[in-house]
Structure 1
Amino acid sequence: MNDDPNQIEVPPSFISLHTTASGHRLLQPMAFVRERYELCEDLAQLLTEKATAIQSASGEREAQVLQQLRATLSGSESPVQPAEAEWVIARLAELLDWPAPDA
């Protein structure tokens, strides 16, 4: 029986952002990692509409739109850490079925 009341499954791609270099140990408690994942997933979901609006209005290529959003998420006012910002952009591309961005 699972004692964890939270049923959200955090994908390995996100967990790896919060593990040691060897990948064997979390650097933060799982509750913290899950909270950060929820924030990043919600952000990626919210940015789908923004990304398509930017592309429609500007006619820019998908990669350019993702680069703009990456720059915004990398700013000092961003609610996410740099590695999380990269994950959000990759997840956004996945949600939009756009080519994976270059890191």
Structure 2
Amino acid sequence: MDDNQIEVPPSFAALFTSPSGHRLTEPMATVRTRYELCEDMAQMLAEQAATALFKSGGSEREVLAKMEQALGAEGAVLEPREARWVVTRLAEILGWEPPADPSAGG
């Protein structure tokens, strides 16, 4: 029995789900650990993102794009799909428009 109380949201679990959507590609303990890291990262970056928006005078989308680029850079702790989830979560925390989905072709 898994006694860990952390609930992994479906949006994050989907990052580790087989293309058929029926099974995880990693053990649940790994998914949970990665989720905790990504959620913590999004929470920590909220203030930094708001400050970056204020200082840059740019758009929320530009700030999120730069953060995603940095989070998913080669040698970074996060995989690109996790970086995408973090900036989407960051936008949610800040009440910003979520970043455009690159797979949507637009």
Scaled to the shorter chain, the TM-score interval is: over 0.9
User: 2:51 is matched with which residue: 47, 50, 53?
Assistant: 53
* Segment drifting more, 40-49 vs 75-84: 75-84
The TM-score, its normalising length taken from structure 1, stands at 0.94
3-state secondary structure, aligned to 1:4: coil
Q: Distance in 2 between matches of 1:54 and 1:82?
A: 21
Q: Distance in 1 between matches of 2:75 and 2:44?
A: 17
Q: What is the distance in 2 between the residues matched to 1:28 and 1:93? A: 27
What is the aligned partner in structure 2 of residue 72 from structure 1?
Answer: 70
* Cross-structure match for 1:7: 5
Unaligned runs of 5+ residues in structure 2 are: 102-106
TM-align CA RMSD:
0.8
User: Which structure ranks higher in relative contact order (CA pairs < 8 Å, sequence separation ≥ 6)?
Assistant: 1
Distance 1:77 1:20 in 2: 25
Moved segments of 4+, more than 2 Å: none
Indicate the SS of the match to 1:56: helix
Pick one of 81, 84, 87 that aligns with 2:82: 84
TM-score (norm 2): 0.92
Deviation at 1:74, TM superposition (A): 1.8
The amino acid across from 1:23 in the alignment is G
2: distance between equivalents of 1:95 and 1:28?
Answer: 27
Equivalent residue, structure 1, for 2:30:
32
Structure 1 residue ranges without an equivalent (≥5): none
Identity %: 51
Q: Deviation of residue 29 (structure 1)?
A: 0.5
